[in-house]
Chains A and B, each alone.
Chain A
Amino acid sequence: MDQLASLIAATLNAGTVLALASLGLLINERAGVLNLGAEGIMLVAAIVGFATAVHLDSSWLALGAGATIGALLAAAFGLLVIFLHANQYAAGLTLSLFGAGVSAFIGVKYTGERLGVSSQVGIPGLRDLPFFGPALFNQHALVYVTMALTAVLAHLLVRSRAGLVLRALGESPESAHALGYPVQRLRLLAVMLGGALCGVSGAYLSTVYTPLWVEGMVAGKGFIALALTTFGTWRPIRVLFGAYLFGGVTMAQFFLQGAGVQITSQWLAMLPYLITIFVLVLISRKPGFIRVNMPASLGKPFVPGG
């Protein structure tokens, strides 16, 4: 029972990292921009957040620093693809490679550094419940914030003017333009917002989740988050549950090992990557299904009057 409770807790924690990045990418993609640079943004935000936590000793400031650097990097990417019409794939990959280099460069000084023990977390009162306490109510506040954010995003996306405009940017930027919306500037805003969320995710990873800085520690989570937006058919709630599912799979390997299952650790560590591939295959095998759900102008540059 204790095992199960801590597995659920670990799943929520791991899922939050993926969910935050994936929700950010969902905002990007709903606006029609595909950001392959999420991995790079998360890496830079992870080290910037970690450094902030080391020097200022506050996990909230660390998350804020991660969000800021994430938005800035996303803005650089956005300028390239939205205003200079650079290829979105190439520019995103560039950001990922650049982020890997920059984070390793900054991170040299912080390798092996440890953060102070974080203060009491969880929801007072509820966290002392048997089973449910340790399983659900003893997490960093961001875990709950992410859940709330998902609900808010899901609501705004279909029930508000802002959500409608955001979807128009991704479905039919020509219409949004014709209605007088500054498509390029709004897309940049969406990209920066998405970048900020990826940044928070990276900073959460290095300051709360691990909490350590290790070179290349994001280890493909930025790309798994990209796969999750497809998996969740660009809907926030589905994306959140997809993230928990992946978090669960990632965590299950540690619990299997802890339970003494005789499988070489490398095979277990492959699981998240293999499952990402499996899920992609499962979800993509009917091209019509994806086409109906995917923002129609995803990845296509928009040139006003062009």
Chain B
Amino acid sequence: MVRLRLEPRSAPSQPWLLGAPLLALLITILIAVLLFLALGISPVQALGVFFVDPVSTAQGWSELLVRATPLILIALGLSICYRSSVWSIGAEGQYIVGAICAGGVAMHASEQSSRLFVLIVLLAGTLGGMAWASLVAFLRDRYHASEILVSLMLVYVAELLLGYLLYGPWKDPAGYNFPQTITFLDPALLPRMLSGYRIHYGVFAALVLVVLSYLFIFRTLAGFRLQVVGLAPAAARYAGFFVRRSLWTAMLISGALAGLAGALELAGPLAQLTPQVPAGYGYAAIIVAFVGRLHPFGVVASALLMSLFYIGGELAQARLGLPKSFSSVFQGLLLFTLMACDILTNYQIRLVRAAPRLVRSTITPEVAKSGELVQ
């Protein structure tokens, strides 16, 4: 009898750290092909719509980067959280509150405001996201309430808060009763990089923050402490690293990044608060963070991929008549297969011969003493 056995590796396999996401992508695409065939859609055409069409035009590239920007920012923060075993899943809420705070400031811009007004808008969003995340950190730190559940409950609260503002005090009086704020004036908005394209300077902000997070995680003591707390809490306590401090650091950084993402989205493509602000980036970024291996550079790659799924999904809606949610099926499937493929990263698969079966009656005290087993 030959069977498979999993042997834990002493350290994660470096080749498979990169290989597993690629393998997962391949398997996801294979499953998608089967799904396309089942739906009677030509897989070649469908894959073209998802992977080629979005990047074959300049407009497509612009959209790709616009979508990737919030994903990168939020996923950077979540990577830091997950590295320190802080399981926040409520980035969507911090993103919404970031957008709300940014919107609250942006409304007060006038034609005479300085071009730098937008910086205050972004700052407000960042602080808003931080404040929302600090609620989670506080309740976890002071009362040991699960950050998973608290952060998620606060997403729903944030959504309802946005709803209250849009249907109530912040509704545009000239907006035909639509639940939306006024369109913000130029000083409160990010300048476009190219006219006719939605791409904005937030992309650069995201890239700068990618490098900063890399430096923070791998080149600073605080970043190192955070990881030790995540990997070996007992060792961290022994070394005098503060679990509490890393909880606060991780939550505040991720809240700030999610809030900034919301503010950038508002000052960039949206230009007003609408019920469409909660676009699910906060949830998709969880997938981005894991697929990107909780590494800042990996996050960039996986955010671009995820963004491709979004745009491909929208094109597929128009051209193939697939529902828009197809892209989230894709995204979820990718993470699912990655989880399974990761076994290759953490385990060695060995073919082993099954051990000879022990027959109880053959083990006499003498045999046991001699150390030989009768087969």
Verify A284–B8 contact, CB threshold 8 A. Answer: no
Nearest CB on A from B12, distance (A): 13
Residues of B within 8 A of A287 (CB): 144
Nearest CB on A from B316, distance (A): 12
Residues of A within 8 A of B340 (CB): 80, 84, 86
25 contacts between A and B (CB under 8 A): A76-B336, A84-B339, A89-B148, A90-B290, A93-B89, A94-B335, A94-B336, A95-B336, A98-B335, A101-B327, A101-B328, A104-B323, A104-B325, A105-B325, A220-B153, A227-B149, A266-B163, A266-B167, A270-B157, A273-B154, A276-B153, A277-B145, A281-B143, A284-B146, A287-B144
**Complex-state Cα separation, A90 to B145, whole angstroms:** 19
Mask, B282-306, CB within 8 Å of A = 1, is 0110110010000000000000000
Residue of A nearest to B7 (CB): A306
**Complex-state Cα separation, A270 to B157, whole angstroms:** 6
A97-B332, A102-B329 as given contacts; A280 in contact with B149, CB under 8 Å: yes
Check A262 for interface membership: any CB of B closer than 8 A.
no
Count residues of chain A with CB under 8 A from any CB of chain B: 46
The 6 lowest CB-CB distance pairs between A and B, nearest first, are A98-B332, A101-B328, A104-B325, A266-B164, A108-B323, A101-B329
Nearest CB on A from B267, distance (A): 25
Verify B153–A85 contact, CB threshold 8 A. Answer: no
Check B343 for interface membership: any CB of A closer than 8 A.
yes
Nearest CB on B from A68, distance (A): 19
Verify A226–B149 contact, CB threshold 8 A. Answer: yes
Verify A284–B144 contact, CB threshold 8 A. Answer: yes
Q: Which of B178-224 contact A (CB under 8 A)?
A: none
Residue of B nearest to A91 (CB): B339
Check A162 for interface membership: any CB of B closer than 8 A.
no
**Complex-state Cα separation, A101 to B343, whole angstroms:** 25
**Complex-state Cα separation, A93 to B152, whole angstroms:** 11
**Complex-state Cα separation, A105 to B332, whole angstroms:** 12
Count residues of chain B with CB under 8 A from any CB of chain A: 48
Verify A97–B156 contact, CB threshold 8 A. Answer: no
**Complex-state Cα separation, A50 to B264, whole angstroms:** 39
Residues of B within 8 A of A91 (CB): 339
**Complex-state Cα separation, A127 to B49, whole angstroms:** 58
Check A230 for interface membership: any CB of B closer than 8 A.
yes
Residue of B nearest to A102 (CB): B329
Residues of A within 8 A of B318 (CB): none
Verify A274–B157 contact, CB threshold 8 A. Answer: yes
Mask, A191-235, CB within 8 Å of B = 1, is 000000000000000000000000100011001101100100000
Verify B164–A267 contact, CB threshold 8 A. Answer: yes
**Contact residue among A93, A98, A223, A290 (Cβ-Cβ distance under 8 Å from B329):** A98
Check B331 for interface membership: any CB of A closer than 8 A.
yes
Main secondary structure of the interface of A (DSSP, over half): helix
Verify A219–B156 contact, CB threshold 8 A. Answer: yes
Verify B87–A264 contact, CB threshold 8 A. Answer: no
A102-B332, A281-B143, A284-B145 as given contacts; A93 in contact with B346, CB under 8 Å: no
Check A285 for interface membership: any CB of B closer than 8 A.
yes
Verify A97–B328 contact, CB threshold 8 A. Answer: yes
**Complex-state Cα separation, A33 to B155, whole angstroms:** 25
Verify A97–B287 contact, CB threshold 8 A. Answer: yes
Residue of A nearest to B290 (CB): A90
Verify A80–B161 contact, CB threshold 8 A. Answer: no
Check A100 for interface membership: any CB of B closer than 8 A.
yes
Residues of A within 8 A of B335 (CB): 94, 97-98
Check B48 for interface membership: any CB of A closer than 8 A.
no
Verify B339–A94 contact, CB threshold 8 A. Answer: yes
Check B326 for interface membership: any CB of A closer than 8 A.
yes
A105-B329, A273-B156, A306-B8 as given contacts; A285 in contact with B144, CB under 8 Å: yes
Check B23 for interface membership: any CB of A closer than 8 A.
no
Check B175 for interface membership: any CB of A closer than 8 A.
no
Verify A101–B286 contact, CB threshold 8 A. Answer: no
Most interface-central of B290, B332, B346 (chain A CB within 10 A): B332
**Complex-state Cα separation, A113 to B340, whole angstroms:** 37
Residues of B within 8 A of A281 (CB): 139, 143, 145
Check B173 for interface membership: any CB of A closer than 8 A.
no
**Complex-state Cα separation, A271 to B81, whole angstroms:** 28
Check A151 for interface membership: any CB of B closer than 8 A.
no
Nearest CB on B from A293, distance (A): 13
Verify B153–A273 contact, CB threshold 8 A. Answer: yes
**Complex-state Cα separation, A95 to B286, whole angstroms:** 12
Verify B323–A105 contact, CB threshold 8 A. Answer: yes
Nearest CB on B from A303, distance (A): 8
**Complex-state Cα separation, A86 to B341, whole angstroms:** 10
Nearest CB on A from B118, distance (A): 29
**Complex-state Cα separation, A227 to B145, whole angstroms:** 10
Check B160 for interface membership: any CB of A closer than 8 A.
yes
Residue of B nearest to A90 (CB): B290
